[in-house]
Amino acid sequence: MSSTWSPSSWHQRAADQQPAWPDVEGVDRALKTVASFPPLVFAGEARSLQSSLAQVAAGNAFLLQAGDCAESFEEFSADNIREKLRVILQMAVVLTYSMGAPVVKVGRIAGQFAKPRSSATERIGEIDLPSFRGHIVNGASFDPAARTPDPERLVQAYHQSASTLNLVRAFTKGGFADLGRVHAWNQEFVATSPAGQRYERVAAEIDRALNFMRACGVDTESNPILSQVDVYTSHEALILGYEEALTRRDSLTGGWYDCSAHMLWVGERTRSVDGAHVEFLRGVGNPIGCKIGPTVEASELLELCQRLNPAHVPGRLTLISRMGATRVEERLRPLLRAVKESGHPVVWACDPMHANTFSAPNGRKTRHFDDVIGEIAGFVQAHRAESTWPGGIHIELTGENVTECLGGADDVSDADLDRRYETMCDPRLNGRQSVDLAFRVAELISGTAT
């Protein structure tokens, strides 16, 4: 099978969730343009992430994958990127400090622009328009011009990914992520919450540890281990023409890598074993994620593992379960058992967001913080019962003080949702809820949750 793979072999398979581009020649032109651009990431970086994920698969590290449901062409600014990084760094500090294990940080960032939809069209009143598929395809507002898929957006997605990634690299390598600045990551609106105060106490302990190291003669200022972090990029590999255009042969190993991001995942709606998305991803050398929902059967999951990681490479495959708080334990346990028996060295991550979404009385799509925590608790419980490692979490969040998910320490209510509901797609945890969640996760994993 592998011998017949090429970056374009997915064209022979059924590709779900592809936009109906009216301007087909425009798409060809745009993809040729993207194919002529430099890669966004280097294959060696994808391999480093894979080695770190191998540590997660072995139970020695934890994966934090987090960011927007969909990045926006409109809400694109340095502030926005910085705030998102800040909260990811805060969560990583809490998890690292509390669990005493390395945390592998992967953003849903610098390329997370495409959305699968349950219906190809949306009807309001008597009008039917193409559904919004993310800014790489069309605009969100309900008018015919905005909703018409526009190939120029493929090029714009590349450029926005490039500048976002550039800033992520600058922030993470240029001093912002220095552990000595651990207090400065606590934004004011987070710092005033109970989770923010708890975070301050962890930050103070880290300060004391750094002081101790300095007193012992360690140069904490110029040590990159303390002053820099690796934040990798990831997105759902949905628009396959775009992913193909950024797939390049690595000059060092000769292998193919999808250089649009370090890690790519296949979504719940497109993970059919014989479909185009799995065909595309099986041939690229990047670490790959696969979302799995409550309907997946063990036999199907094993086929996916075999197709995506036939060589059983540790760190190559992350299974991201999104089962729903009420059924995660029951659905997950047989899958954990089957994968373990098959010998596939996977990373198990929990997406506690996508199967806990519902509509509030005012029609807003939302999620309750308690359900999010509930799914993680069930995920950890299932792993404990099967003696497997609950390797990570996959979260939709923003650094902003939005009101999109209910509950949390501020007890965001139905009535609050309209106050700052800014997501372009699914509801995200705000900065306070995210830091709170990190503490809860650390307690659940170390078995100290009450």
* Interacting residues toward ligand PEP by CB under 6 A: 69, 116, 236, 267-269, 291, 322, 351, 354, 426
Among 57, 69, 104, 417, binds Co ion (CB under 5 A): 69
- Per partner kind, with CB cut-offs from 5 to 8 A, the member of ligand PEP, Co ion, none near residue 116 is ligand PEP
Q: Does 426 bind Co ion (CB under 5 A)?
A: yes
Please give the C-alpha separations between residue 197 and each of 68, 103, 374, 439, in angstroms, as whole numbers.
Answer: 25, 22, 23, 12
Largest CA distance in the chain: 73
Nearer to ligand PEP, 196 or 378 (CB): 378
Judged by CB under 5 A, the stretch of 91-99, 209-217, 387-395, 421-429 that binds Co ion is: 421-429
Handedness of CA 172, 109, 261, 100 (dihedral sign): positive
**Considering the complex, what minimum distance in angstroms separates the CB of residue 428 from ligand PEP?**
10
User: CB-wise, 69 or 88, nearer to ligand PEP?
Assistant: 69
Q: Which is nearer to ligand PEP, 116 or 334 (CB)?
A: 116
Return the residue matching tokens 């209510």.
413
Q: How far is the CB of 426 from ligand PEP (least distance, A)?
A: 6
| Part of the chain binding Co ion (CB under 5 A), chosen from 119-127, 155-163, 253-261, 422-430 | 422-430
**Residue 179 vs residues 80, 203, 334: alpha-carbon distances, Å:** 21, 9, 41
Helical packing angle, 194-215 and 431-445, nearest 10°: 70
Kindly state the smallest distance separating residue 443's Cβ from ligand PEP, in Å.
Answer: 25
The span from the CA of 83 to the CA of 80, in Å, is 5
Instruction: State the binding partner of 290 from ligand PEP, Co ion, none, CB within 5 to 8 A by kind.
Output: none
Give the one entry of ligand PEP, Co ion, none that residue 241 binds, where binding means its C-beta sits below a cut-off of 5 to 8 angstroms depending on kind.
none
Closer to ligand PEP by Cβ: residue 227 or 234: 234
267's contact among ligand PEP, Co ion, none, with CB below 5 to 8 A by partner kind, is: ligand PEP
Q: In the complex with ligand PEP, which residue's Cβ is closer, 107 or 196?
A: 107
Token duo for residue 423? 């997501």
Cα three-residue angle 241-245-251, rounded to 5 degrees: 145
Nearer to ligand PEP, 179 or 402 (CB): 402
Q: With contacts defined by CB under 5 A, name the span among 64-72, 88-96, 130-138, 384-392 that binds Co ion.
A: 64-72
Closest CA to 381 of 356, 348, 414: 348
Instruction: Give 130's strand partners.
Output: 121
Looking at the Cβ atoms of 360 and 445, the one nearer to Co ion is 360
* 449, 441 Cβ separation under 8 angstroms: no
**What's the token pair of residue 151?**
């190939």
Kindly state the DSSP code that residue 78 receives in the 8-state scheme: H
Please give the Cα distance from 46 to 67 (Å, whole number). 19
269 vs 365 by CB, closer to ligand PEP: 269
Q: What angle do CA 260, 50, 81 make, to 5 degrees?
A: 50
Tokens in use for 95?
């998890």
Q: Is 45 helix (H, G, I), strand (E, B) or coil?
A: helix
Using CB atoms, what's the residue nearest to ligand PEP? 267
- Segment contacting Co ion by CB under 5 A, of 68-76, 171-179, 208-216, 223-231: 68-76
Q: Does 404 help bind Co ion (rule: CB under 5 A)?
A: no
Q: Smallest distance from the beta carbon of 51 to Co ion, in angstroms?
A: 28
Q: Which residues would be at the binding site for Co ion (CB under 5 A)?
A: 69, 426
